[in-house]
Structure 1
């Protein structure tokens, strides 16, 4: 399949900072048109200015279906199509599973999973009818590997990855591509904007250690979002899109270590696992 890499129309959620902002700028620099969105679009004024006519802005709250529909319609009204959807809007609830209230867990799922799912479902029919398009799901290394204190976040990202991998197989015959991006730690405001739960002393050595580590990492993350956005655009220009794209040394090393540990465990318990077969 030949991929059109010129004059694409992008719809990006969560553009007030971080990956959303850098992807909008990178796409505009590549000659594409971008509809940048945020819950408060007035925060995108400087981004629109930097886009020099290639970046527009509109409101989009991923937890509000009417807002999603309005943003999609605004993009179609301005450009007539959507070639790249980036689900970037997100949030982070930090706390041990016991520490996370059900309300906090539901809110995490609402933004990271259900919000991305609803935006995706609003755009899929358009791309299916076009017979082309790419959906970029901004996940995380935490979409496959877990850390204490990130249970709510992992639950949402794992759900998003399961949905997206399935979607990729369903849409591939129809000319629509899906890319799951799994960044490591990037120097954005994401870590600074996290929501931290109430603390329980029993988890000070597990979730508590993660709390301390994330605090120490703030402003010292090893990866550059500008370079990350450039890597995503490079992959999108390929006619052989991977299902997943890791970003950063920490993501590559972390996932390789995780998978090697999984394979070791499979081998260690293989005999017991196979003993369940009939016959």
Structure 2
């Protein structure tokens, strides 16, 4: 079935691969980018299927305009892919205020704003798919990318909560969490904070690793794009989708460590209950609350 896709960051990297894959599959695509000139080739190849729109995702006015233009052209939006973003590396204390704000505005606030702009249309349709392109860095903390990962942890959490909020409306939400992929994320899309002494073994190591020739990501963005186009057709998509063997292995190891730490400190966790406390989750109200939260 032909769907209408709205994709941010379509000009390069994973966003371009997703745009090409959706078009090749016969879908209609609103392809957005800061510089639409970079999408000329796709416009020539798919003149009837593609709507190229300029979009700075940090501009609420441009977001509203792009969504309205898509609805005017195609009549609906079936799949929203919040892909636009960029990385930044450095010690948490070293980032400038502007660097912190730009990370949160682009990687967290923008996808939230776009989601909020598209949701009324999906709600009226009683259908839709939202793919938040987060990162394995939205599940695992890594030195040197604390601000980037603050945004991605927030995006993954937003996706999980939203998925339970909109499920009765026929809308499905997935937090897509890739590991390293062969895009320009660590190249032209990467920026750095000023170097601060004392972090040589942690942040310094990560900086040198990303800048060096030894970092060759395992992930193929075209393969990831095909997975996501197929995912839009799946009746029960996952809330979290990890992409890449490296990311999967890292998450498995991290989950083991987290579980061990949780169990070690569980007696302290439960010691803070009031003396007359009852188990809320065993009450009827508690069971209903647990069902909504998806922890039954």
Report the TM range for the smaller structure's normalisation. Answer: over 0.9
Counterparts of 1:93-242 in structure 2 under 5 Å? 93-192=88-187, 193-216=189-212, 220-242=216-238
CA contact (8 A) 1:25 1:50 kept: no
4+ runs deviating over 3 angstroms: 50-53
Cα shift at 1:202: 0.7
Q: Secondary structure of the equivalent of 1:269?
A: helix
Residues in 2 aligned to 1:158 and 1:146: alpha-carbon distance in whole angstroms = 9
- Tell me, yes or no, if structure 1 residue 40 matches structure 2 residue 49: no
Q: Contact between 2:107 and 2:152, CA under 8 Å: does it hold in 1?
A: yes
Q: Which has the larger radius of gyration?
A: 2
SS in 1 for 2:84: coil
Deviation at 1:160, TM superposition (A): 1.2
Normalised by the length of structure 2, the TM-score is 0.89
SS in 2 for 1:177: strand
Structure 1 runs not aligned, ≥5 long:
1-5
TM-fit CA distance, 1:74: 1.4
Render the CA deviation track for 1:121-180: whole Å, top value 9, x for unaligned: 100000001100111100000001011010000111111122221111110001111111
Q: 1:257 aligns with which of 236, 246, 253?
A: 253
Q: CA contact under 8 A between 2:209 and 2:215: conserved in structure 1?
A: no
Whether the aligned pair in 2 keeps the contact of 1:21 and 1:47 (CA below 8 Å) is no
Shift of 1:219: 7.0
Where do residues 73-84 of structure 1 align in structure 2 (5 Å cutoff)?
A: 73-84=68-79
Query: Contact 1:178 / 1:243 at 8 angstroms: preserved in 2?
Result: yes
What TM-score results when the alignment is normalised by the length of structure 1?
Answer: 0.95
Match of 1:21 among 5, 9, 16: 16
- For each residue in 1:209-251, what CA deviation from the matched residue of structure 2 results, as whole angstroms up to 9, or x when unmatched? 1101112368721110000111112222211111011100011
SS at match of 2:183: coil
Match of 2:242 among 214, 239, 246: 246
Alpha-carbon distance, 1:50 to partner: 3.4
- The Cα shift of 1:102 comes to 2.2
Counterpart-to-counterpart distance in 2, 1:150 and 1:86: 23
Q: CA deviation at 1:51?
A: 3.2
CA distance in 1, matches of 2:214, 2:110: 26
Secondary structure of 2:198's counterpart equals helix
Report the equivalent of 1:3.
none
Matches of 2:50 and 2:72 in 1, distance apart? Answer: 14
| 1:203 partner SS | coil
The alignment yields a C-alpha RMSD, in angstroms, of 1.3
Runs of at least 5 residues in structure 2 that lack an aligned partner in the other structure: 276-296
